[in-house]
Amino acid sequence: MRGPLDVVVIGGGQAGLSAGYYLRRAGLEFAVLDAQPTPGGAWQHTWDSLRLFSPAEYSSLPGRLMPSQQGETCPDAGHVVSYLTDYEKRYELPVHRPVRVAGVHRDGELLRIESDSGTWRARAVISATGTWSRPFVPAVPGRTKFRGAQLHTVEYRGPADFAGQKVIVVGGGNSGAQIAADLAYDTEATWVTLREPRYLADDVDGRVLFDAATARRRALDEGRTDTRGVASLGDIVAVPPVRSARDAGLLKAQPMFDRITATGVAWADGMTAEADVIIWCTGFRPALSHLAPLGLRGPRGHVPTAGTQALGEPRLHLLGYGDWTGPASATLIGVGRPARDAARQIADLLG
C-alpha cells in the first residue's frame, strides 16, 4: 500500500503530464501511474505518415515550447514522443510505469487506487487515460460475415501492409482522410464517408481550432447559442499529405455503404465494392472502466463533469478525452488550461 498522497494521476500521456506540471507548481505531493512501459501516451502507436495539424509552437504543453522538427512544418508523431519524453524528465515528474489501474474506490476520507502493481491511496485523483485504448466500430449489418481483414485506426501502420490489396477506408474525420491519402498511391483504396468530406480552410491550424473550441465553451457556459466549435469549420484539417492527395483528385469519397458482404460492401442502390480489408477510422470512446466502482457513468458513457470535476465525486477530475472536459482538452495546445484549473481546484479542496 502506497500513500496517502495528495493526488494520484492515472495516465501519463500529454494530459497526465500537464496535470503533473501544475500539481508540482501547486506544491502537492503526487504520482502519475501510466500503463505503458515508455513515455509518449497514444503518440507511440500512431502510423508512420501521421503529421500534426499544427506547427510545433502551437502544439506545446504548459511551460515548454515544442521545438520545431527539422524539414517539417507540422511535426510527426515520433517528434511528439521525444517532446513528451523530454518534458517529463525536465520537470522531474514522478511517473511510474508500467502501472495499469484497475479500479478507483472510495475509502473513507481517501480514494483507493487498485493497480497491477499494488494499491495506492490519495486524497484526490485526476483521470487522464485518453481514448486510444477504446477504439469504436459502428454496428453495420453483415460485419461478422466479411471474410477479409478488418482493422481500426489504432492498428494501421502504413501502405506497405496493403500493397496490391483492395482496401475500404471508412470515416470522414482526420484519421480517415489521412489514411485514405496515405493509401491513395499504391493500393486500390475506396474512401467511404457518412457525408461529403468537409475540409477546413487550408490555412487553419491548431490555434484556430483552439480558439473555436474555446468560443464554443464560453457560449455554452453563458447560455448562448451553441457555436458548434471546430465542427462549424469542417471535419478535416488539410495537412500537406491530405492536401496533395485531394488536389491530385485522389480523394474522392463514396457515401456510406448499407451492408457488408462476405467479399466486400454493398449500397442500397445495388452498387458493390470488393474488398480484402476494411479499415475503420470511426473514432474512439473515453477509457473510463477504472472509474466503474465509483458509479458515476452518465449518458453516452461519459462521467458528468463541471469543467474537469466529476459532479458525483468532487475529489475526482477528468482531463483530456474531449471538449466535454474543457475546450480542446484532447489536444496538445488545449490541455494546459483545464490541467491548470484541475490542479487549482484540487489545491483549494485539500486546503
Ligand X SMILES: Cc1cc2nc3c(=O)[nH]c(=O)nc-3n(C[C@H](O)[C@H](O)[C@H](O)COP(=O)(O)OP(=O)(O)OC[C@H]3O[C@@H](n4cnc5c(N)ncnc54)[C@H](O)[C@@H]3O)c2cc1C
Residues contributing to the site for ligand X (CB under 6 A): 10-16, 33-36, 41-43, 46, 50, 52-54, 59, 100-101, 128-130, 132-133, 174-175, 206, 287, 290, 320, 330-333
Extract the C-alpha cell encoding 85: 519524453
User: What is the smallest separation between the CB atom of 268 and ligand X, expressed in angstroms?
Assistant: 30
**Shorter beta-carbon distance to ligand X: residue 244 or 263:** 244
Q: Shortest distance, CB of residue 330 to ligand X, whole angstroms?
A: 5
Cβ neighbours for 83, distance < 8 A, ≥ 6 positions apart: 66, 67
| Euclidean distance between CA atoms 60 and 37, whole angstroms | 23
N-term to C-term CA, the chain: 24
Closest distance between ligand X and the C-beta of residue 61, in Å? 10
Residues 334 and 211: beta-carbon distance below 8 Å = no
Of 174 and 282, the one with the shorter C-beta distance to ligand X is 174
The residue among 197 and 320 lying less far from ligand X, judged by its C-beta, is 320
Cβ at position 272, least distance to ligand X in Å: 29
For the bound state, the minimum distance from the C-beta of residue 247 to ligand X, rounded and expressed in Å, comes to 20
Shortest Cβ 266–ligand X spacing (Å): 28
For residue 245, the SS3 value is helix
Is 137:22 a contact under the CB 8 Å cutoff? no
Pairs from 113-116 (Cβ < 8 Å, separation ≥ 24): 113/8, 113/10, 113/33, 115/33
SS3 200: coil
- The smaller minimum CB distance to ligand X, of residues 10 and 28, is found at 10
DSSP 109: T
Nearer to ligand X, 242 or 277 (CB): 242
Residue 63 in grid coordinates? 511551460
User: Minimum distance from CB of 210 to ligand X (Å)?
Assistant: 9
Q: Give whichever of 97 and 259 is closer to ligand X, judged by the CB atom.
A: 97
Residue (of 251, 238, 243) closest to 185 by Cα position = 251
C-alpha distances (whole Å) from 308 to each of 6, 12, 51, 157, 229 are: 17, 17, 28, 33, 19
Q: Which is nearer to ligand X, 148 or 322 (CB)?
A: 322
